[in-house]
Structure 1
Amino acid sequence: METTPSGGRPRGRGNVFFAFVPWIAFDVVAGPSTWELAALVALVASVVLTVPDVAHGSVKLLDVTGIVFFTVIALLGLVLDRHDLIWLETYAQVLANAVIAGVALGSLAFVPFTEQYARESTPREIWGTPAFRRTNQVLTLVWGLVFALTAVLGLIALRVAGGTDWLNWVIPVVLLVLAVRFTEWYPARVHERIHRDGAARGA
């Protein structure tokens, strides 16, 4: 069983990965002739993920960003002609990764986006503690950097003749797996350190 710095269940933190599902789905489905379909799939996924939060009276930054971004992309696909869509077709995946990276890293200046998920499984009195805040800053930074690097790799892939599978798929998948593992490991490490320090002070 994973734990948060507060010792609570990790339901909210576990949902962080699912928040990226629409963006990952867009990356997987999007292509020169399928990016419009990818935008619709990602939009539906974003709405489906948002409905339970709305039902509980909360809306998360990542969900709202997904709905807005994929709605705009889908609408552009409907109103722009083929010539005007060439740029969007080429850079759709890079743009999606750049947007999610920007939102994640930008949230560090306010409320780290992972904190919205962590609060779901953490007592309110823990929310203002330095450990809770620091943990979510680190997790948010890691996810933001992963998507920023994925965007850069996608941009490089558009400009090289070979190795595109590595740049578009292999390395990004490895980065995602590492981010998930880190998200599981780091809060547990903080939790253990807090309890160890508390035990030492008690002794």
Structure 2
Amino acid sequence: MVQPTATKAPARKPVSGGGVFFSFAPWIIFGVVAGPSTWEYAALAALVASVVLSGQDMLHGKLRVLDMTGIVFFAVLSVLGLALSRGQLLWVETYAQVISNGLVAAVAFGSLFADPFTAQYARETTPRELWHSPVFTHINRVLTAVWGTAFALMAISTWLAVLLPAQDDWFNWVIPIALLVVAVKFTERYPESYKARVT
């Protein structure tokens, strides 16, 4: 049985301070701005946001997988936008949002096989002796899986927007925003809910 006093605070910590949400900000910026004629600007804006939001942490040696993926991905897109012609980049224009959402989903699901990416943020405010506790591990595996699922569904939704342009507003805006809201609400509530069940 896990002692309530030992797990109550850490169970809530994965979302404290908004750290994990800040790491999603560049991806959300890209998703909002990217379009057939604006994806280059979206990539540059997302790259700047990635560097600004994670730069201080990187200077202190904190390398988070989602932050690093964002910096590399948006830097590559920015370089491609400068180096290649519009015709050569037609596939990027068409599938930019699908690719970005799919990449975040892949990073999230991939991290489950090593270290759930949400745990990287939770450790910053959780005592070291609790990092390997069953409660801490379970919460972060679930949160990571939820975010991975949300972005996988967003990738599918934005892909459908390409196939069904008449429904663009639904698949590019309404559904992705709804998925983000659900993921945020779940992240805010699940730790305490799970802790209450196991204690």
TM-score when normalising by structure 2: 0.91
Equivalent positions of 1:164-175 (< 5 A) are 164-175=168-179
Q: What corresponds to 2:111 in structure 1?
A: 107
State the distance in 2 between where 1:21 and 1:6 align.
28
Q: What corresponds to 1:149 in structure 2?
A: 153
Q: What corresponds to 2:49 in structure 1?
A: 45
Match of 1:64 among 65, 68, 72: 68
Cα deviation for residue 73 of structure 1 reads 0.4
Q: What corresponds to 1:138 in structure 2?
A: 142
State the distance in 1 between where 2:168 and 2:85 align.
28
Equivalent positions of 1:151-190 (< 5 A) are 151-190=155-194
State the distance in 2 between where 1:11 and 1:125 align.
16
State the distance in 1 between where 2:112 and 2:14 align.
22
AA paired with 1:171?
A: I
Distance change in 2, residues 1:78/1:6 (3 Å): same
Q: What corresponds to 1:200 in structure 2?
A: none
Unaligned runs of 5+ in 1: 198-203
> Number of aligned pairs?
192
Consecutive aligned runs of 4 or more in structure 1 exceeding 4 Å deviation: none
Q: What corresponds to 1:10 in structure 2?
A: 13
- Cα deviation, 1:130-180, whole Å, max 9, x if unaligned, reads 111111000000000100100001111111142210111011101101100
State the distance in 1 between where 2:102 and 2:180 align.
15
- Cα deviation, 1:165-200, whole Å, max 9, x if unaligned, reads 011101110110110000010111123234xx3xxx
Partner SS, residue 114 of structure 1: helix
- Cα deviation, 1:103-126, whole Å, max 9, x if unaligned, reads 011100000000001101110010
Task: Among all aligned residue pairs of Structure 1 and Structure 2, give the percentage whose two residues are the same amino acid.
Answer: 56
